[in-house]
Amino acid sequence: MDYSQNLSIPSVANTPSSGLFFSLVAVSCFGIYYENDGVQTNYVYNESTSGKWSDQINSMRDHVIKTRLVPSGTKRLTVNADNCSGQNKNYYVQKFLLAHVDLGIFEHVDYKFFVKRHTNNSCNCGFGRIRNYMATTEC
């Protein structure tokens, strides 16, 4: 799981300058890659609507757990996260995962962090596809 760089909308492929718009809207894109299925779930929202802190991360993570993992009967969860202290390495995110074990939703949760300066994960490939699509498509 990871955040992409902020995206700007609208994205018009044939426009020579973004100065033709009064104001571009910056959106945040958070991705969760489910290795078992090879599917990435992306959450895109206006940056003025919400931030990038542990509450938002836990809400999106909870949605994936309820809609994808619980119905499939998954009992072991391995989470790979980057070293961002505000988003991943904090008390609220750890308590969120522990609560799922305490409630019996999971039997075991592994919470792993990347080595510093080695932050490429599976989500980055999906983010690259989004950027390439936006560069060639008017949206």
The pTM for the full model equals 0.75
Residues constituting the chain: 139
pLDDT at 70: 93
pLDDT at 63: 95
pLDDT at 8: 76
DSSP 67-93: IIIHHHT--EEEEEE---TTTTSSHHH
pLDDT < 70 stretches in the chain = 11-22, 83, 85-89, 116-120, 139
Average pLDDT, the chain: 81
Measured CA to CA in angstroms, residue 5 lies from 47, 51, 63 at distances of 12, 13, 22
pLDDT at 106: 96
Distance CA 16, CA 28 (A): 24
